[in-house]
Amino acid sequence: MQSVVRRAKRWLYLGHRWLGIAGCLLFAMWFISGVVMMYVAFPHYDKEERWAALPDLAWQHVALSPDQAMQAAGVTHYPRELRLVMLDTEPVYRLLDWRGQRTTVSAIDGRQIDQVGADQALRIARHHPAAAAPRLIETVDRDQWSVTARYDSFRPLYLIGLGDAAGTELYVASRGGEIVLDTSRQERIWNWFGAIPHWIYFTVLRQDGPLWRQVVLWVSGVLMLVAASGLWIGLLRAGLRRRYASGRITPYRGWMAWHHITGLIGGVVVLTWMASGWLSMNPGEAFARRGESRDMLQRYAGHDAPTVAGRLPATARPGVVEARFVWIGGTPLMLLGHRDGRQTVADPEDGTPRRLPEETIVTAAAQSLPGANMVLQELLDHYDAYWYQHHRQRVLPVLRVGFDDPASTWFHIDPATGELIGRSDASARSYRWLFNAPHSFDFPVLLAYRPAWDLVVIGLSLAGLVISISGVVIGWRRLVR
């Protein structure tokens, strides 16, 4: 039995030593890039940025109502999305159906607009507030910033430089002419030290989603074992009960001592970060990721094939750049996006301001899960453990309703607009504590008193960096010998 234990310890030491030589380089990269990601996110394009780059809606030129636009697009049922915006100087409807198919229809004559040319893309880019001297850089199918599948329905993309001091570049869809992404010089530079190495997000790998997922799972899984074995070895070699010479708790000196001591102090955090990062890939699909289904949203809308009859009001609304049409509990609404980032609600028939009573919203929400009873209804006017602001803006106040269905579903609804803006269930709430909390340290008490969160995360990252760098030095010396 003792020989088996000795052999197991030997393999434990050898495995940690040789896997750790390469692994510590990756650990160091992850700690450095994680700190960068605290302040520079991967480029994305949110609705406020989209609104800022659009011209005012020319209501006087809109000849088609939303239901006529749906008919022209061949959409007979409630669409996933229906928006009225400007395509350069022409008002158009943009529709997204439940198959992910996007259609752009002229609001003047009902023709479908499938393709836009480079010249028109440049004209679209000139409406951007940062446009100084727009120029076409190239036409891209897929690059480092547009690598994910979310852009597939827009490809190929026109890459247009705005010529501003920030080095802003826009991606304009050749299908439909919509701006779908922007990047700045600062984002592009810092992401090479942040999200790209942290997520192993290199285009050649990330363009194959399943392969990328497997690579991340296996690399992080192996290094999770390295971290676990290091913590185990550190405890085995620590003189916690019987001290070494001069009262030391480590038998090592120099870089080995640094590696041992910092590993004892920060090893649990390193292991926690590795395990939660591995869980972020949802191995084995252990966590159900449920969005709002078509049936659910249609029941919330209150009608399978809703219509907005008649011509839209032609009253000019300075600063309004988008009208999105939704139905809540059978009531049609027009959500108006303003260039300054605000969103207001109007009646699509006459354009007057509109706000649904909370009771109407709650009744519509109850219809979305007909086989379940509503067991929770509260209006949050502050953030809590499940609705909080961290690297993203979130609405307050927000209406939370919960059900007794098998998934213990919660909906979060914007009471000002009636929009269903989030769904979670027991699986998602468990995932929040198994991934978000240990990986991002987004505990409410830290987020409420920033820079407490920054100091804690940076301090722990520095401890992990010392563990990693000492491991790199030790490994390099062993390889040289």
Range 349-362 burial, b when 16+ CB lie within 10 A, else e? bebeebebeeebbb
- Residue 268 CA neighbour count, 13 Å, CB half: 3
18 phi and psi angles, rounded to 5 deg: -80, -35
Q: What is the pTM of this model?
A: 0.88
91 phi and psi angles, rounded to 5 deg: -75, 135
pLDDT by residue, tens only, the chain of 481 residues: 667 667 777 777 777 777 777 788 888 999 999 999 999 999 999 999 999 999 999 999 999 888 888 888 888 777 889 999 999 999 999 999 888 889 999 999 999 999 999 999 999 999 999 999 999 999 999 999 999 999 999 999 999 999 999 999 999 999 999 999 999 999 999 999 999 999 999 999 999 989 999 999 999 888 888 888 888 887 877 777 778 777 788 888 888 888 888 888 888 888 888 888 888 887 777 666 666 777 888 888 887 665 665 567 767 788 999 999 988 988 888 999 999 999 999 988 888 888 888 999 999 999 988 889 999 999 999 999 999 888 778 889 999 999 999 989 999 999 999 999 989 989 889 888 988 888 988 888 888 888 899 999 999 999 889 888 888 888 788 777 7
Cβ-proximal residues to 2 (8 Å cutoff; 6+ apart), any chain: none
Quote the CA–CA distance of 358 and 380 in Å, as a whole number. Answer: 13
Provide the 10 A C-beta neighbour count for residue 41.
14
DSSP 342-357: -EEEE-TTT--B----
Quote the CA–CA distance of 108 and 286 in Å, as a whole number. Answer: 49
Residue 112 is classified by DSSP as B
DSSP 117-153: -HHHHHHHHTTSTT-SS-EEEEEESS-SSS-SGGGGG
Q: Can you tell me whether residue 343 is helix, strand or coil?
A: strand
Which is it for the CA torsion 329, 332, 337, 342, positive or negative?
negative
pLDDT at 330: 85
- Cα of first residue to Cα of last residue in the chain, in angstroms, is 34
Quote the CA–CA distance of 166 and 476 in Å, as a whole number. Answer: 41
Quote the CA–CA distance of 143 and 177 in Å, as a whole number. Answer: 18
| Tokens encoding 248 | 């030391």
Tell me whether strands 374-380 and 398-403 are parallel, antiparallel or unpaired.
antiparallel
Q: What is the pLDDT of residues 252-275, one digit of tens each?
A: 888 888 888 888 888 888 888 888
Cis peptide before 348 (omega within 30 of 0): no
Nearest CA-CA partner of 173 in 198, 139, 144, 204: 139
Quote the CA–CA distance of 166 and 129 in Å, as a whole number. Answer: 12
